[in-house]
Structure 1
Amino acid sequence: MSRRSLLGDAGLLRRHYSAGWRASLLVALLVGVTVAGVALAPRALARLGDRELRHALMTTSATELDLAGIGQLGYADTAAQQNVATDVAIRNVRLGLPEPLRDLVGQPHWLARTSASTVTLPREQQLTLDLRLAIDLAWDQVARPVEGRLPDAYDGRGPIEVAVSRALAERVHLRVGDRLPNDPAPLLVTAIVEIDDPDGSYAVHSGDLVAPTVQEAPDTLPTVLGTALVHPDSASALREPMAGGSIVAWFPIDASRVRYADADTLQPQARRLASTPVELPNGGRLSLRTGLADVVERTSDRIASTYALLALALSGLAGVLVAVFALGVQTVLDRRRPALALASARGAGRMQVRAVMVLEGLLIAVPVSALAILVVSTLVPATLGPVGRALPVLTALLVPLLFGVLTNPRTLHQPRRDLRVATHGRGRPVLEIAVVALAALSLLSLVRRGVVESSRAVGIDPLVVAAPALLTAAVCVLVLRVFPWPLLLLQRRLRSRRGPVAVLGAARAVRSPALGFAAALALVVGLSVVTFSAVMATTIRSGLEHSVREGVGADVRLSAARFDDGDLAAVRRLAGVDAAALLTVRSGVELDLGRTARVEVVVTDTAALHDVRPDLPVLAGRGQDALPLLLGTDRAEEPEDVLLDQVPAVVTSVVGRDLLPGLDRRWVLVDQSALPTGAAEGDGEPRELLLVRVQDGAAADEVAGLAAAAVGGHPDVEVVDVDEELAAVSSSPVVGGLRPALLVSALVALVLTMLTVVLASLAAARSRHQMLGVLRILGMSRRQLRGVVAWELGPIAVTAVLVGTVFGLLLPRVITRALDLRPFVGGRTPPQPVVEPLLVLAGVAAFVGVVVVAGLVAVAVGRRLAPAETVKMGER
């Protein structure tokens, strides 16, 4: 190797970087793991949003979700022209849709049918049959004959051959060969078919073609409404009957192809479909509608709330991450200090010294970060926005930036001190004031605008999202300003005691703390994130349980047209039942609050209902001048003169309409003993609800099963319980993934805290061992030396536990005021923070254990330096 290659710029840099390469390798590994995590987080969130949106769409009924329409069929001269033209026009609807909506919409299916007409049945039956004729171009693929043959085309002569579903044939006792008088020609049943409908969408959109509809009313015969298939080529001969009928078309929505990144584009595209009818050939028209936009909007609100909550929870970790990077960079700088000091003494300028270290930062961070981003993007593909793509890059560039900022040529000749804001100088007050001002501005923006609303308006607002980190930094600034004063007082009190350990440890903690601002910030943030995660996990669980119970109305709800007199007593006798109440809901009752309106009236024993629902009052019974009412409404009401079905009444309280489930926008509750006989009967069929309160420790789903069996004589009973509903809500990917995400954030905070303590302790190892060497020479025992070392970590750790716990308990109250969790948990009112003491204490205990272990690890590693070897005569 030539002398030029050894003494040139490249050679000198190569020799400079190769010395002490282990510290650089450690920082490179730390950067690689961190960048991989930062690159993975937005991808995991994007995939979580995709899964949540797909889950919401897949659990939505086809009636609400699919793109479907109803309209009138136009007619051409021949059936072939009519059918082909209509089919092409409907298929062109999908081709004309914009992306990404077109990618979700499947191939259409449509059928045309006549209006219903009453048909005389061949056998005497106690019912009436209203039948419609339908044309389906794909009928031979949908209808599978189980008896007979598929019909031939009707050309205007002879009977109209039809195929009926097995369900309709069994309901009205039709057989192959039956003739049904009808206009314009009698109907001949040539086939009984089974409809192939594996996903159930055909039955949903074709109405009574798959299964007949039965309408029953008092004192009248049941009416069966059904549809029969005819050959598609019968359209020309059935022009007049079809003219008064309708056409139904539907396009299935493939939820597995949707992406959350397309949510904002899908909503206006889906809404525009309902604004303009589709023109069909020969004067036909089709009006389309879909609930896709509403489902996407509701789900987007839930996903946005989840993203906002996780962003606020994880933003605090940014401060710890900066501290860890800074300590790692300072470790490398400590290895480079002698060489940099020599270069500076021989004429290297400040910019040259900084440039050398920035270049080393780029060499450390860029290759490993590029590899980490490439691996993560390959293994976890996802559609990201500009912020998600920029975050790992900015994280990687943070390392060379810290190398440039922390390289101070003026202090290269001094021994290495721990990374901290200088105790003297003009820069510290300015920096502290700036941090406190930013924290106040961030808190104001968070409370006034909210993280979700600000993100919708301006995208990701860094000032709002960074509120937890800025607030923590401001708290740390204030704490470190106050931190020395209690120690000074303690030091003065300890001077009168025997033994030098406490006095020396307190003095060192005040004058030259081993853990500076970066480590203090990491400790406070770490514990606050752990506490915040514990409180928010409990809050979300409590909010979900509360909203589910609101939706059910009690622990268990049974609904039916009518319950027998013994059903209530049977349910009350069941094991696990604490209380039960029977509610009768009557619709269409006149209520006069100054203006007459028709409302639903809930009649019950309000004392029994109060036992089930303590939040509902007991209304007075008979003996009152006016009938006591509880009014449920969302309007502002101050009623004075009230009449319920011409009975004088008084409103004792106004509550939200959602206080009882499944009722109209306005309803009233009355006590059954106070309601006059024959009053408030209503104009519709009443329905009854049986609300059950479950004993503590009993499972609601088990009680629901027993209650269903106890009233099993009613075929129309619907049973709902909070356990089943909560399980259904928890099946949502967002709900199921949020609590593990909070747990992961707490674990990451603990790991980063451990790294911070280890790095800070190792960085202070040389100065510590210099002091310990002197103390050893002066005669201190090993036990006393361990006591002095414990004072390095003890005061700041105790302070961090106190401040971090209090701050972690207060932060959820700030977050829940700025972030409405109702789109996530549901319910009428925003959930308030719920603190579970045992969970919080477990988090604090885990944090203390991590700090102790980190301190022991750092001291164990530092023992490789013998204290006596670090003592140099004349150094001080």
Structure 2
Amino acid sequence: MRIPLGLRAHAGTSALLVVLTAVACLLVSGLPRTMQASFDEALSRSLAAAPALRTDLTVTGTPALPAGELHSRAEFEGRDLGWRRLIPAALRTLIGPGGHISAKTYRTPVNETSDIRAFVNLGWLSDAGRRVEWVGGRAPGRPSTMRYLGTTIPVIEVGVVEEAVARMGLRVGQTRMLGESVHTAAKIVGVFRAKDPADRSWSHDADVLHVTRVVPMDGPEEFHTTTLMSDDGLSALTSKASGLAYRWVLPLDGRAASALDVPAVQAAVAEFQRQVDVQGTGTTSYRLVTGLPQLLTGFLGALSAAQTVMYLVLGGLFAVALGVIALGVRLLTDRMARTMALARARGASLWQVAAAGATLTALTVGPAALAGYALSFLLPGPVPPIVHLGPAVVLVTAVAFAVARLMLAHRTPLQERRADLVTARPSARRVTVEALVVVLALVGAYLLRARGPSGTAQQDPFLLLIPVALTLAAGLITLRCYPYPLRLLVRLTARGRAALPFLGLTRAARKRSAGALPVLILLPALSLSVFAAVVHDGITTTQRLASWQQVGAPIKLTSVENIPPDAIERVRRAPGVEQVALALTGRMQITATGERPYAVAVDLAQWRRVNEDAPISLPTLSGDTSALLSPALGGRDAFDVMWLSPVRLTTQGVIDAVPGFYASGQFVLVPWEVLPWPAANTLLIKGDISPVELARLVPSATVATQEAALAAIQDDPLTGTVRTTMVVVTVALGAYALVAIVLSLVVGAAGRARAVSLLRTLGLSDRQARRLTLLESLPVVLVTTPVGLALGLALPAALGPGVDMSAFAGGLPVADHPPGLLTPVALAAGLGLCAVLGAYVHTAMSRRRNLDAALRVGDP
């Protein structure tokens, strides 16, 4: 057989196969790249959004003896180089340049009598010159000495932050005596402020930038601040007067992070921690402080859920694409059937026939697979192994299917078969295997629901195999069962006077073997597209609910202090404001136990008017002194609390969360009437007013909106990738299902056109021909569509306990939400419409057939 001649003879079929192959290879190679790129972006964003205190690697050293103390910048920088040399290679690429070193004392008391306890810690930052500016006095210089209580003590020049001047009364020129038994003098020579308070590195040194107020349970309130000294001050910094700690901060650069390398990075952090631990000596102990492992573990949990769902739908898309390509190859081999039969009759061996068909298929599919593979590199993202493996699988599958079909069809030269006249009975072995598949799929689904989430961040093969087993089981049941209603319809139509329904349904029943492949394509295509649409709708609905849970109202205005009544009135009268509910938050003390839970007092009636159209339900309190407690507070009856004034509360019940305020920990919800006088630090607002305008009306407040919270949830890269992939897969699977219907019509086009032409010679009209074609092709769609629709709607319920989608929905579980049926029903209706249109198009094309040829050529 001449291969180029075969390509020209079947140019239309070859072109269709080329398009199907190129699109399939583009999807299977391109989508994983974009997915992996989004995973990397999500990791980078999560690391950038987390405080530097959690992501950076901080080596802390605590000198136990004077021999372990460091007194110069050179000594600190030498240790910094040593720590960097110990970083494993997998982690070294994530450590950015810069970083800083610090030396600080902690809980260093001021040696003087006062109503409050003041702690002025001594501190040194290696990069203070870059991070602070001096707004009063001068920068600290060299230390000196002085006589105090008969001994010589060091005098260290320090600078204090502006906040310490206002809250602790520290002034330039003052000298404060620090310590209790061993004293050090701190001479205040300057006042500083941060050049960039938003610099991430300040999270390591918040004690330098802000004054900390502590209210002990059994003592006076305390104020803590950390001063800054010069490099020269290190020579006088010792641990004799108070505790002393050194810190080497190695900054993490999340821009170079890759989701594929997360396990290796976790192992590298553990190895670095072990290396730091063994560096300790008798004079100094070292340890690694970082929240990076916890961040990576949380990310892997969300990543595992995303990968599970996306690999599931992409695997289904790949399988459906392979099935459609197999239909195209079948169409090509059917077109070559007479040529191959003639070659076989003239002495060609079975392997020669198979080799010719394989070569023709490879020349058609190979360049198309290469083209789709090349086009995938236009998409951004790294290159996982599936990018290279997918096109190879497509090529091998297409060629293998062509070889298998040709070898089965031409085992014997000139073998005439009428498979549509005889229905082969399945063997007992085949029935047993199919029954076993169905039973295992149902048992696996039950075990998945009973087990719930796997609890690990690794991929769960069980979770990936169960949907495949359920789809295969549904396909086997459909193939076994759908001939029976057809036979019943054939018997019913045989009793009627009209011949057309009997002929159409009879031809459909005889095509059982030919319709197996379209069923196995349509079923997963429709079920997975419905599954993707349902999951997408569920995530979208839950995201909206989560945004309302986070904010608690369309707009929430929160102030660090009580909002004056005149400011509240300005907000009420502002243009666009419709409703305002007042709330007060704070910490109350339970008299009997001393517990200090968070408290929320809110005008519940007004709050309901604010949230009139919200998807969240608000709690109800029946009395002026009733309260709802969080589960962490446990069950109790009436109890006394102190909040603004003593009050006795009566427990009405337990509440899991207060929307917009608290969702975990210890908290109490009380009615507005429990307050001894009107006070509010939170306003819950309904209306059309910009956050900027509200911030102008109440300068001390921060404004949050439900729309902004929803946008933040949807802007997460992992969430956006999951939702986008669901949309793409839904569209692609729907398109492949339509192509499968068209190809199933085209595969039997020759026999169908011959039958229609023969019937037209007997007086069959064009309208009757369309109805005949429709009756022949529509049963497969009508049987498969409800099964696929039901399976797609059932998959989220079957997989729900095993897949935690809360990471993509603002922390709320994606469950208990009725699926939106518009998209699934539209997909199912689209398949039926495509079958109807295909029947009409095929009938229109059959009009061109010569009736004389139909009379001369036909089945014997």
Global fold match (TM > 0.5): yes
Contact 2:301 2:457 in 1 (8 A): no
State percent identity of aligned pairs.
22
Cα deviation 1:206-265 (Å, max 9, x = unaligned): 2344455678999x9998755444331332234467864332332221111111112233
SS of equivalent to 1:720: strand
Contact 1:476 1:524 in 2 (8 A): no
Q: Offset of 1:464 from its aligned partner?
A: 2.8
- 2:620 matched residue in structure 1: 618
- 1:292 matched residue in structure 2: 292
Q: Offset of 1:501 from its aligned partner?
A: 4.1
CA distance 1:376–1:412, shift in 2 (3 Å)? farther
Cα deviation 1:330-382 (Å, max 9, x = unaligned): 12212321232234334555455445434544454455435543553586552
* Amino acid across the alignment from 1:470: L
Contact 1:515 1:792 in 2 (8 A): no
- 1:788 matched residue in structure 2: 772
Contact 1:113 1:242 in 2 (8 A): no
Q: Distance in 2 between matches of 1:146 and 1:586?
A: 36
Q: Distance in 2 between matches of 1:438 and 1:739?
A: 32
- 1:723 matched residue in structure 2: 707
CA distance 1:618–1:141, shift in 2 (3 Å)? closer
Cα deviation 1:757-799 (Å, max 9, x = unaligned): 2322222221122112212222333333333333333443444
Q: Which moved more, 1:722-731 or 1:853-862?
A: 853-862
- 1:466 matched residue in structure 2: 468
Contact 1:558 1:691 in 2 (8 A): yes
* Amino acid across the alignment from 1:758: V
For residues 390-539 of structure 1, what are the structure 2 equivalents within 5 Å?
390-407=389-406, 408=408, 409-410=410-411, 413=414, 424-427=423-426, 434-435=433-434, 437-449=436-448, 453=454, 456=458, 463-467=465-469, 469-478=471-480, 480-485=482-487, 487-488=489-490, 491-492=493-494, 495-497=496-498, 500-512=499-511, 516-539=515-538
Q: Offset of 1:432 from its aligned partner?
A: 6.4
- 2:125 matched residue in structure 1: 136
Q: Distance in 2 between matches of 1:398 and 1:452?
A: 34
89, 99, 109: which one aligns with 2:100:
109
Q: Offset of 1:654 from its aligned partner?
A: 3.2
SS of equivalent to 2:620: coil
Gaps of 5+ in 1: 1-10, 679-685
- 1:778 matched residue in structure 2: 762
SS of equivalent to 1:72: strand
Using the size of structure 1 for normalisation, the TM-score is: 0.80
* Amino acid across the alignment from 1:580: A
Q: Distance in 1 between matches of 2:478 and 2:319?
A: 11
CA distance 1:398–1:874, shift in 2 (3 Å)? closer
Q: Offset of 1:114 from its aligned partner?
A: 4.1
753, 761, 769: which one aligns with 2:737:
753
Q: Distance in 1 between matches of 2:551 and 2:848?
A: 65
Contact 1:422 1:428 in 2 (8 A): no
Q: Distance in 1 between matches of 2:199 and 2:270?
A: 25
801, 806, 809: which one aligns with 1:822:
806
SS of equivalent to 2:295: helix
CA distance 1:412–1:300, shift in 2 (3 Å)? farther
- 2:52 matched residue in structure 1: 62
Cα deviation 1:817-868 (Å, max 9, x = unaligned): 4423223324455423433344445444544454455555555666665454
Contact 1:562 1:688 in 2 (8 A): yes
* Amino acid across the alignment from 1:487: L
CA distance 1:280–1:210, shift in 2 (3 Å)? farther
Q: Distance in 2 between matches of 1:549 and 1:410?
A: 67
Q: Distance in 1 between matches of 2:422 and 2:377?
A: 44
Q: Distance in 1 between matches of 2:126 and 2:805?
A: 49
- 1:580 matched residue in structure 2: 581
CA distance 1:794–1:247, shift in 2 (3 Å)? same
Contact 1:112 1:135 in 2 (8 A): yes
Contact 2:300 2:457 in 1 (8 A): no
CA distance 1:745–1:281, shift in 2 (3 Å)? same
- 1:4 matched residue in structure 2: none
SS of equivalent to 1:248: strand
Q: Distance in 2 between matches of 1:746 and 1:481?
A: 29
Using the size of structure 2 for normalisation, the TM-score is: 0.81
- 2:816 matched residue in structure 1: 832
* Amino acid across the alignment from 1:96: L
Cα deviation 1:501-548 (Å, max 9, x = unaligned): 444333433344797222234344444344333322211111112223
Q: Distance in 2 between matches of 1:213 and 1:136?
A: 19
CA distance 1:214–1:669, shift in 2 (3 Å)? closer
For residues 60-459 of structure 1, what are the structure 2 equivalents within 5 Å?
60-72=50-62, 82-106=72-96, 107-115=98-106, 131-143=120-132, 150-154=139-143, 156=145, 160-162=156-158, 178=173, 180=175, 195-197=194-196, 200-210=199-209, 226-239=225-238, 244-270=243-269, 277=277, 279=279, 283-351=283-351, 353-366=353-366, 368-370=368-370, 372-373=372-373, 376=376, 380-384=380-384, 390-407=389-406, 408=408, 409-410=410-411, 413=414, 424-427=423-426, 434-435=433-434, 437-449=436-448, 453=454, 456=458
* Amino acid across the alignment from 2:550: G
* Amino acid across the alignment from 2:311: A
Contact 1:304 1:452 in 2 (8 A): no
RMSD of aligned Cα (Å): 4.7
CA distance 1:20–1:129, shift in 2 (3 Å)? same
Q: Offset of 1:489 from its aligned partner?
A: 5.1
* Amino acid across the alignment from 2:305: S
Gaps of 5+ in 2: 147-153
Contact 1:323 1:518 in 2 (8 A): yes
- 2:720 matched residue in structure 1: 736
Q: Distance in 2 between matches of 1:508 and 1:78?
A: 93
- 2:544 matched residue in structure 1: 545
SS of equivalent to 1:245: strand
- 1:3 matched residue in structure 2: none
- 2:590 matched residue in structure 1: 589
Asked whether 1:49 is paired with 2:31, we answer no
SS of equivalent to 2:246: strand
Q: Distance in 2 between matches of 1:515 and 1:808?
A: 25
Contact 2:474 2:787 in 1 (8 A): no
* Amino acid across the alignment from 1:630: L
Q: Which moved more, 1:264-273 or 1:531-540?
A: 264-273
* Amino acid across the alignment from 2:734: L
Q: Distance in 2 between matches of 1:855 and 1:811?
A: 32
Q: Distance in 1 between matches of 2:459 and 2:528?
A: 28
CA distance 1:201–1:78, shift in 2 (3 Å)? same
CA distance 1:77–1:262, shift in 2 (3 Å)? closer
- 1:764 matched residue in structure 2: 748
CA distance 1:234–1:847, shift in 2 (3 Å)? same
Contact 1:167 1:211 in 2 (8 A): yes
- 2:151 matched residue in structure 1: none
* Amino acid across the alignment from 1:406: R
Asked whether 1:812 is paired with 2:803, we answer no
Q: Distance in 2 between matches of 1:403 and 1:692?
A: 68
Q: Distance in 2 between matches of 1:375 and 1:605?
A: 60
Cα deviation 1:673-697 (Å, max 9, x = unaligned): 6x7989xxxxxxx996647474xxx
Q: Which moved more, 1:14-23 or 1:527-536?
A: 14-23
Q: Distance in 1 between matches of 2:87 and 2:9?
A: 64
- State the aligned residue count: 830
Q: Offset of 1:442 from its aligned partner?
A: 3.4
Contact 1:532 1:811 in 2 (8 A): yes
Q: Offset of 1:300 from its aligned partner?
A: 1.9
Q: Offset of 1:554 from its aligned partner?
A: 4.3
Contact 2:778 2:836 in 1 (8 A): no
